[in-house]
Amino acid sequence: MDAVTTRKYQPYSRVNLPDRTWPDQTIETAPVWCSVDLRDGNQALVQPMNLEEKLEMFELLTAIGFKEIEVGFPAASQVEFDFMRLLIDGQRIPPGVVIQALTQSRAALIRKTFASFVGAEEAIVHLYNSTSTLQRDVVFRKGRREIIELGMAGARLIREQARDSDVRIRYEYSPESFTGTELEFALEICEAIMEVWEPTPENPVILNLPATVEMSTPNIYADQIEWFCRNLSSRECALISIHGHNDRGTAVAATELALMAGADRVEGTLFGNGERTGNVDLVSLALNMFTQGVNPNLDLSNINKVINVYERCTKMNVPPRHPYAGELVYTAFSGSHQDAINKGMDALLAHPESLWEVPYLPIDPQDVGRTYESIIRINSQSGKGGVAYVMDKEFGFKLPKEMHPGFGRVIQEVADASGDELSPEVIFHTFEKEYLLNANGFVLKAFNVIKRHLDDDEEQSTAEVEAMLEVHGQETWVEAVGNGPLDAFCEGLRNSLGMGFTLHSYHEHALTRGSSSKAVSYIEIIDQDQEGWWGAGVDTDIIISSIKALLSALNRSDAKNNQ
């Protein structure tokens, strides 16, 4: 980009609205939603949906809770017409759901649209014609009056057809490319259409103001919507609908601001599928509202099902970073993020009635059918807190905090060597190899507590133990007395093998429940070089698990000394 090419463009015109009020508004209720997945979304596909796929998509949309669905352009192709007939003749339209069909302002197309409606209880006929300055000049070569007459002619024919129809017809009009149309002219043609249709507050017309091409920042679109709402005659007789596209990548923001500016209704698609960069994404819009405590009146509690049907029917993919729905949006690789999420989850468990407040997660993944297990995933960028979280949530090992750095370094080496994400299974197998199955120097063959003497004064309690060990391939018996089985075993190692170490930390917890439950012990020793080493052991006997943990720590220390 340089100064020469930049001169090809100019800033979009601002709206003279110094007393705009929308910045002070908030979205407190959901709009009327209208899905255009079967029309806008379908026409944007490399391979448009067949009848079976369109039916599956329609059933998904009704299950989610859409009450208005634009099912196609029945006058444009036989497939579109046949799908309308499939819905009506097959009685597949649920109570309360209204089908919508698009048509240009051409007599043959309007008549075929009404033919497709026969037998329906209610339908919305959606009339449009392009009003933008550019298309008037370049495409149609018509003046304002001719464009208005074209729209009004279509509106008159639609009204005539509606009078003769047994279907309850609702009217919708779109000045296509509203964002490229002078505001005064958009208002003029919409009011001309309203004069033909004669709406009332009880039976309002839908005036759809599409950002057919997103041409400005979202605040300017909001200004246009507020200006239009202020200046429209008989505002109470119209539902102001918005239909955003995503050419600038800000369709969701523009739609939210337009709702604050007075819009009543939103047309869009699941995950933003549509021409060029797509339509506004209704999933993001609805869940944005949800995170602000507003009921969106759409059921997205099983987001995986929505994704599966969408991808199967459209042959499109939901990107891994797509808001709320992507595979990775509830995942943290960064160590600091993982640690913060882990702590946030723990705090929430301690206060389950509190508001959802977890760092880096604006929504509870369970509210959209996701699980906590996928929140933290491990690669070379991950930290010790994330590794500990996976061990806890996936496998039940609650590693002592002091143990996190050491195991984190072990996993870091594996991740660096792999260059890829590590699955929970790889993390556990690494833990198992490093701590539970480490038999480099010391292997426990047998262990017995010969006798114990318990005293009210714990310091006076004693235990006599014997153990068979394999030490660097040689079997060795160890016998000793201490103030408990673990202490006695340590004394035996010092006395029989001349080992110099001290116990520094000890933790234990139940790993499983039931009559054959297992316990896990974690032990840190300080070796002769004053270096700390952690070990872990698992057994149905808590004493044996502690002995195994001690030997695990000794094996790790021994491996270092024998490198």
pLDDT confidence tier of residue 1, bands split at 50, 70 and 90: confident
319-330 residue pLDDT tens: 999 999 998 888
Q: Is the pLDDT of residue 372 over 70?
A: no
Q: What is the CATH number of the domain that holds 430?
A: 1.10.287.1400
Half-sphere exposure of 427 toward its Cβ, with a 13 Å CA cutoff?
29
Say yes or no: 345 and 481 in one domain.
Answer: no
Largest Cα span, the chain: 107
Sort 388 into a burial class: Cβ within 10 Å, 0-12 / 13-18 / 19+.
Answer: buried
Say yes or no: 401 and 307 in one domain.
Answer: no
Residue 19: the pLDDT is: 97
In a domain, 402, yes or no: yes
Say yes or no: 280 and 382 in one domain.
Answer: no
**Of 436, 456, 484, at which residue does a domain stop?**
436
Say yes or no: 415 and 505 in one domain.
Answer: no
In a domain, 401, yes or no: yes
Say yes or no: 274 and 353 in one domain.
Answer: no
Residues 199-218 as b or e (16 or more Cβ within 10 Å = b):
beeeebbbbbbbbbbbbbbb
In a domain, 342, yes or no: yes
In a domain, 17, yes or no: no
In a domain, 25, yes or no: no
Say yes or no: 142 and 164 in one domain.
Answer: yes
Q: Is the pLDDT of residue 461 over 80?
A: no
Q: Which domain holds residue 405?
A: 335-436
In a domain, 150, yes or no: yes
300-322 residue pLDDT tens: 999 999 999 999 999 999 999 99
Residue 170: the pLDDT is: 98
pLDDT confidence tier of residue 352, bands split at 50, 70 and 90: confident
| 275, two tokens | 């021409």
Say yes or no: 191 and 147 in one domain.
Answer: yes
Percent of the chain with pLDDT over 70: 95
Say yes or no: 164 and 256 in one domain.
Answer: yes
In a domain, 330, yes or no: no
Residue 388: the pLDDT is: 85
Say yes or no: 410 and 471 in one domain.
Answer: no
Q: What is the CATH number of the domain that holds 546?
A: 3.30.160.270
**Of 282, 314, 346, at which residue does a domain stop?**
314
In a domain, 2, yes or no: no
Residue 371: the pLDDT is: 67
For 98, phi then psi, to 5°, come to -115, 130
Q: Is the pLDDT of residue 373 over 60?
A: no
Per-chain mean pLDDT for the chain: 91
pLDDT confidence tier of residue 185, bands split at 50, 70 and 90: very high
Question: Considering just the CA atoms, what is the radius of gyration of the chain in Å?
Answer: 35
Say yes or no: 380 and 507 in one domain.
Answer: no
Say yes or no: 369 and 496 in one domain.
Answer: no
Q: What is the CATH number of the domain that holds 46?
A: 3.20.20.70
244-297 residue pLDDT tens: 999 999 999 999 999 999 999 999 999 999 999 999 999 999 999 999 999 999
496-545 residue pLDDT tens: 888 889 999 999 999 876 656 899 999 999 988 899 999 999 999 999 99
**Of 280, 314, 348, at which residue does a domain stop?**
314
For the chain, how many structural domains are there in total? Answer: 3
Say yes or no: 388 and 289 in one domain.
Answer: no
